[in-house]
Amino acid sequence: MNISGQAGATLVELMIAMTLALLLSGAAAMIAINSKSVFRANSAVARLQDNARFALDTLSRDLRMAGFNGCAGSSTSTASKLNAAGFQYLYSNGLLGFHAIGAGWAPALDASISALAPSPMAGTDVMTVRTISGSPIALTAAMAGSTGALTVDPASGLALGDIVMASNCSNSVMFEITADPSLGSIAHSTGGPVPGNATADLGVSFGTDASVYRFVTHTYYVAPSVLQPGTDSLWLYSVPNYGGTANPHEMVEGVQNIGLLFGEDTDGDGVPNRYVTADAVGTWANVVAIRVELLMQTVQNNLATSAQPYTFNGVATVPSDLRIRTVMNSTISVRNRNP
């Protein structure tokens, strides 16, 4: 009788195989975890960079057009026919910054800004830009006189209570629309919604070479995020139209701080002679460029294996979290104040 040899694996061989399988499984799991962590970090950084570009692009569009007077250009000041109004309608100053000093700002924030909810964070600069919004709306007929209505396309999109500017290459006048312009006639009677007009006389009779622009005042600031609690965002406050209310809007998440330097032209050649913080600006009308510095942070925490040091506004900091940060810079020229 033939006796066959032992078949199959021994206990030792089984244990070795199981150990190798566990090691391979663990290695595969570590690779998967690391890949997921890398993907998560890369996605967060890409989102951070996209947010930074969007923030700088938005700020650039507004800052380039600060104090825009239409065809009249920087050599012509805008005559305001509004009643004595607050900070938001001071078109004579198209640009104003507020430098963070301790828990306050210099110059001091206007009450309309400090009362916002959420309000600007201490330690972050604030900036207000007064300019026009949208495309020019051409007059379709000449005014009958300086107190007459302005005739435009009924589909202009303008509304009762809008603050607008009429401008040609010689004159620029700001006033409030005091009647429904949906039929194409822009009235500017004395009085009207807040702030109202001090006079119905624009001081000039515009012809078909003139255009009407909607006036806006935008204030940019950093405040805690509502959409992403625990982080900060860049907020935009726009002056409300008639019947509106204060409407701060969370514009870009992940903006932890903003620093501003204003390029002041002290010799009238259109080129900045110095860059200073808002509290050191001598004459705001001489600011021809702005340097914007944004400190961006990822919305997600625990992306880095250790705290990532950063330098913002010349100050080196080691954060207490594990977020990834980057600093973005841009120098923006104010077109209306350059030759």
| 3-state SS record for the chain | CCCCCCCCCCHHHHHHHHHHHHHHHHHHHHHHHHHHHHHHHHHHHHHHHHHHHHHHHHHHHHHHCCCCCHHHCCCCCCEECECCCCHHHCCCCCEEEEEEECCEEECCCCHHHHCCCCCCCCCCCEEEEEEEEEEEEECCECCCCCCCCEECCCCCCCCCCCEEEEECCCCEEEEECCCCCCCCEECCCCECCCCCECCCCCCCCCCCCCEEEEEEEEEEEEEECCCCCCCEEEEEEECCCCCCCCCCEEEEECEEEEEEEEEECCCCCCCCCEEECHHHCCCHHHEEEEEEEEEEECCCCCCCCCCCCEEECCEEECCCCCCCEEEEEEEEECHHHCC
Query: Within a domain: residue 268?
Result: yes
Query: Within a domain: residue 25?
Result: no
pLDDT of residue 93: 83
Count the domains in the chain. 1
Query: Within a domain: residue 37?
Result: no
pLDDT tens string, the chain, 339 residues long: the values are 555 555 555 766 667 767 777 776 666 666 655 666 666 777 888 899 999 999 999 999 999 988 887 776 666 678 889 987 678 888 778 899 999 999 999 999 999 899 999 999 999 999 999 988 888 999 999 999 999 999 999 999 999 989 999 999 888 899 999 999 999 999 999 998 888 999 999 999 999 999 999 988 999 999 999 999 999 999 999 986 554 556 899 999 999 999 999 999 999 898 999 999 999 999 999 999 999 999 999 998 988 889 999 999 999 999 999 999 999 999 999 987 766
Distances (CA, A) of 326 to 51, 70, 282, 322, 323: 11, 37, 32, 13, 10
Query: Within a domain: residue 271?
Result: yes
pLDDT of residue 276: 98
Cα 153 from chain centroid (whole Å): 31
What Rg, from alpha-carbon coordinates, does the chain have? Answer: 29
pTM of the model: 0.84
Distance CA 314, CA 295 (A): 12
pLDDT of residue 34: 62
Domain of 51, in residue numbers: 46-337
Query: Within a domain: residue 304?
Result: yes
Query: Within a domain: residue 41?
Result: no
Burial level of 251, CB count in 10 A (0-12/13-18/19+)? Answer: middle
Query: Within a domain: residue 93?
Result: yes
Distance CA 192, CA 207 (A): 24
End-to-end CA distance of the chain: 112
Query: Within a domain: residue 30?
Result: no
Q: How many CA atoms lie within 13 A of 239 on its CB side?
A: 26
State the Cα angle at 107 between 88 and 244, rounded to 5°: 20
